[in-house]
Amino acid sequence: MRRGALGAPGERWRAPYACDPATGHGRLVPEDGSATRSDFQRDRDRILHSTAFRRLMHKTQVFLYHEGDHFRTRLTHTLEVAQIARALARSLGLDEDLAEAIALAHDLGHTPFGHTGEDALDACLARAGGFDHNAQALRVVTRLERRYAAYDGLNLTFETLEGLVKHNGPLLDRAGRPTPRYAGRGIPGAILDYDALQPLGLSTFPPAEAQAAAIADDIAYDAHDIDDGLRAGILQIEDLEDVPFLAELLAEVAALGPGLDSSRRIHELVRRVITRLVEDVLAESARRLEALAPTRPDDIRDAADAVVAFSPPLAAADRAIKDVLFPRLYRHPRLMAVRQDADSIVRDLFARFTAEPDLLPEDWRADLAGASEAKRVRRVADYIAGMTDRYAIAEHRRLFPTTPDLRLW
């Protein structure tokens, strides 16, 4: 695969199947272009400057923010995903700015307390379409951010929104039926509502830049949850030796010398995990791209399978890592006790605000008088989903006589 810069000074090589901001599908609300930035660069910058992005600083990844200064938050996880996505995009000749924008936006819809908060809100909204963090991210960037005089949301380009919604693959099959993830409940209403305004091609794959962001998320999860779990003392090195891929890397680290301290051993393992997974994705993606021979982004969208992917052996290793992390980290008894308490905080807040919407801030309740139940509960969900961990705890303390402590130790 060809590397290097072509054309004007500073202009990087762009593959014919890469998205090009100069020939993209534009924005829902037309805007004049920038003299200094491409449309994808402007998308990235709008996401970085958004309120929702700043709030990721105090949202849980695995460990709550107060458990230690060095554990990942939703923000540091997002930045690490963006770095890996950009590295993949550069090597594959993709638009780095688009890959980075999608990576930076992919978790904007996450609730406080990580997946615990999402599960709690999903249960609370069971009769109103449920809660899905990808659909919530779309709501954030198209409706809930209010920064511009001419429109709600950030008015991002089609390609960024398409990547945000479809980065994990098509939502519909070619016959128009929901894919397995959405087969039970159907496509979230927020996605269908926006798709009616600007069709996102829900039955096709996203462009390669979005695929790079999605697999970067997998790589970051594998490496950095191992890192945090080991440093927290919840995971043990012995737990990882059950995965042959990790056992091989641990042997490499052991060969560096017996005197290596624990912190350096963990880092040496984590950086090898990232390196091997990234190198594998680049080699497998090059193979798939050569076989497909795409000449435009639509060839990627219309392909029968993803083009940015792990090889079969490393896909199996990725699954094996997750099979270890799920019971031994995410479902560890200490974490489960905290999750139970976090779940009760979210459910308490939802019930209280739904029953007494006057307790919402003025700008959140302004047009709820006489509103339907569906609108009222969705507004409450939007408000809670936007909370940081610490704000949710503070709101619970304001409204209830006792609040769980939410501490592992």
4 falls within a domain:
no
User: Do residues 338 and 324 both lie within one domain?
Assistant: no
Asked whether the CA dihedral 85, 114, 336, 231 is positive or negative, the reply is positive
Return d(Cα 96, Cα 88) in angstroms, integer: 8
Do residues 122 and 236 touch, judged by C-beta distance below 8 A? no
Return d(Cα 375, Cα 398) in angstroms, integer: 25
pLDDT digits (tens, 9 = 90+) for 178-214: 999 999 889 999 999 999 999 999 999 999 999 999 9
Residue 295, domain extent: 208-331
11 falls within a domain:
no
405 falls within a domain:
no
23-27, 96-100, 369-373: least confident range: 369-373
162-176, 357-371, 381-395: least confident range: 357-371
What CATH number does the domain containing 168 carry?
1.10.3210.10
Q: How confident is the model at residue 10 (pLDDT cuts 50, 70, 90)?
A: very low
User: Do residues 185 and 280 both lie within one domain?
Assistant: no
Q: What is the pTM of this model?
A: 0.93
User: Do residues 140 and 253 both lie within one domain?
Assistant: no
Does the structure show a pLDDT above 80 at 3? Answer: no
The one-letter amino acid code at 7 reads G
404 falls within a domain:
no
CA 81 to chain CA centroid, Å, is 8
pLDDT digits (tens, 9 = 90+) for 275-325: 999 999 999 999 999 999 999 999 999 999 999 999 999 999 999 999 999
List of residues 6+ apart from 101 with CB closer than 8 A: 40, 43, 44, 47, 156, 160, 163
Q: Determine the average pLDDT of the residues in 87-93.
A: 97
User: Residue 369: its pLDDT value, please?
Assistant: 82
Does the structure show a pLDDT above 60 at 49? Answer: yes
User: Do residues 290 and 383 both lie within one domain?
Assistant: no
List of residues 6+ apart from 350 with CB closer than 8 A: 120, 121, 124, 377, 380, 381, 384
User: Residue 1: its pLDDT value, please?
Assistant: 38
The domain total for the chain is: 3
User: Do residues 29 and 108 both lie within one domain?
Assistant: yes
159 falls within a domain:
yes
Q: How confident is the model at residue 9 (pLDDT cuts 50, 70, 90)?
A: very low
216 falls within a domain:
yes
Choose the final residue of a domain: 289, 305, 331. Answer: 331
User: Do residues 53 and 176 both lie within one domain?
Assistant: yes
User: Residue 70: its pLDDT value, please?
Assistant: 58
Does the structure show a pLDDT above 70 at 150? Answer: yes
202 falls within a domain:
no
Does the structure show a pLDDT above 60 at 4? Answer: no
User: Do residues 191 and 214 both lie within one domain?
Assistant: no
Choose the final residue of a domain: 283, 309, 331. Answer: 331
User: Do residues 253 and 359 both lie within one domain?
Assistant: no
Dihedral of CA atoms 369, 371, 374, 376 in degrees, nearest 10, equals -20
Mean pLDDT of the chain: 92
Could you tell me the two tokens for 270? 């984590």
User: Do residues 191 and 178 both lie within one domain?
Assistant: yes
Do residues 327 and 229 touch, judged by C-beta distance below 8 A? no
> Rg of the chain over CA atoms, in angstroms?
22
